[in-house]
Amino acid sequence: MNATAKVVLVSAIASGQGKTTTTAALARKLVGLGKTVRIFKTGPDFIDPMMLERACGSAVHSLDLWMVGQAASEAMLAQAAQQADVILIEGVMGLYDGNPSSADLARAFGVPVLAVLDASAMAQTVGALAMGLRDFGPVHLAGVIANRIASDGHAAMVAAAMRDIPLIGSLRRQTEALPERHLGLVLPQEVERIESILDALAAELDLDMDAWDALPATIFAVHETPSVKPALTGKNIAIARDAAFAFLYPANLDCLRALGAELLFFSPLANQSIPANADALYLPGGYPELHAQKLAQASTWLASVRAAHAADMPILAECGGMMAICEGLVDQQEQHWPMAGLLPGQVVMQKRLAALGAQAWQSDDGEMHGHTFHYSRFDTSLAASMHTVKQATGQAGEAIYQCGNLHASYFHAYFASNPVATARLFLRKAY
C-alpha cells in the first residue's frame, strides 16, 4: 500500500533566514485554501514545532535520520501522507549543516527542497545562492521563497535572476515578526496576538499557485508499525506541563501511551500538586528560569515533589525539570531563587551557550537518542552516575545524576528511540 502527498523540505543557507516564519505562513495560507497540512521539524526542537502546530492545526513531530531513525521517520511521513494533502518539513540551520543534514534527509526520502532566502540586502545574488544550494549536494531544488522583499520591483529582480529555478513565492518585510528569546521563539501561548500574526503572514505571502501546483507529489510505502510491549500498563505518569515545563516531544507522549501508561498532566506554575494517584513523575524541560519566583513560592507543588522523592517515586527530570529540583536557581538578573532541593547545588544562568548537540544515553537496554541545548551550568557536589555520549565525536556528554529512583540530566531523551529503556525509567526499582 502506498500513500501520496505533495511534500517539500523548507531549508535555507543558514539560521535566521526565516524558515519558521515562511513555513508557518505557507502552512496557514494552504490551510486557508482548504488543504490539509501536516508539518514536521528536522532534528531536535521544541519551540518551532509549537508555533508550527498553531499554523497548521495538528501536532508537529521531529524527523531525523539519527535521533528518530530513518525507518521511523519514513513511517511517520507515510502516515501523514495518508491524512494530508501537503507535508511541510522545516529544516534545521543551513541545508548542508550537520551530520546528518537536512539535505541528507531530503535525499533519503526523495523530497524536493524549497529554499527560503533572505533578500533584504540583495537582489540578483539570490539566484547565485539558490544555484549553489542546488548544485553543492546536489539536491532537487524545487524552487525559492524570497523573504523580506521590499517591493514588487525587488521581487521582479529576484525572479529574473533565478534562471531555471522557480520563484515560488515571496514574503514582504514583516511589520510584526514572531518574537524570540535566548532558546528560540517565544512560546506561542505567550504571544497575545499569535493567531492574527499568523493570519497576517499568510496574507503577506505572495504564492505563485501555478508554480506550487506544478510541484510533484511524493509516494511513500505504508508498512505496519511494530508494536511496543506495554510495559507500563496500569501505571499513571504525572507530567508537568505549563510555560515552565513546555519542552515535550509529542512522540514522547505517544511512546508512553503505547507503553500502556495513563498520562496525568499538572501545572507547578499553578501551584498544583503531583496527582495523588501518580506512580511516576516526568519533569520535562522548559523555561523555569523565567518563572523562578513563582516556582519558588509554589508551596503545594514543592511539598508534593519532595514527598514523591522521599517515597522513592520514579522521577525523570530533563534540563529545565532538573533545574527546578536542585537547591537553587540563579536567573539572568543574578537573583537567587530556592527550588525543590532534591539535588544538591545550584543552576546558574549564563549568557553564552553551555551545550548543544545530539547525544545518546547508554543504558542496560541499549542506546536512547536525544539532544542537549542549554544556557546554564549546574554547580553541584553530586557525582554523576554516568555521562551521555556525543553523537558527533563519541566523547562524554551530559552528566546523568541518579538518587534512588530519581534520574536527572540536561539531556533531553527521545523516548521512541528506545521504548524498553524508557519504560524502565518509570518503573520503581529496589535499591
Beta-ladder partners of 390: 359
* Cα(371)–Cα(359) distance, integer angstroms: 5
Given 56, 319, 326, 403, which residue is catalytic? 319
Q: What does the CA dihedral 105, 373, 239, 297 come to, rounded to 10 degrees?
A: -160
Residue 297 identity (one-letter amino acid): Q
* Cα(107)–Cα(113) distance, integer angstroms: 9
The grid coordinates listed for 100 are: 546528518
- Do 132 and 94 meet the contact criterion of CB atoms below 8 Å apart? no
* Cα(240)–Cα(282) distance, integer angstroms: 7
* Cα(205)–Cα(427) distance, integer angstroms: 50
Distances, alpha carbon 13 to alpha carbons 39, 51, 119, 140, 146, in Å? 20, 22, 12, 15, 12
Neighbours of 319 (CB within 10 A): 27
* Active-site residue, 319 included: yes
Pick from 46, 95, 37: nearest CA to 67: 46
Q: Write out the catalytic residue numbers.
A: 319
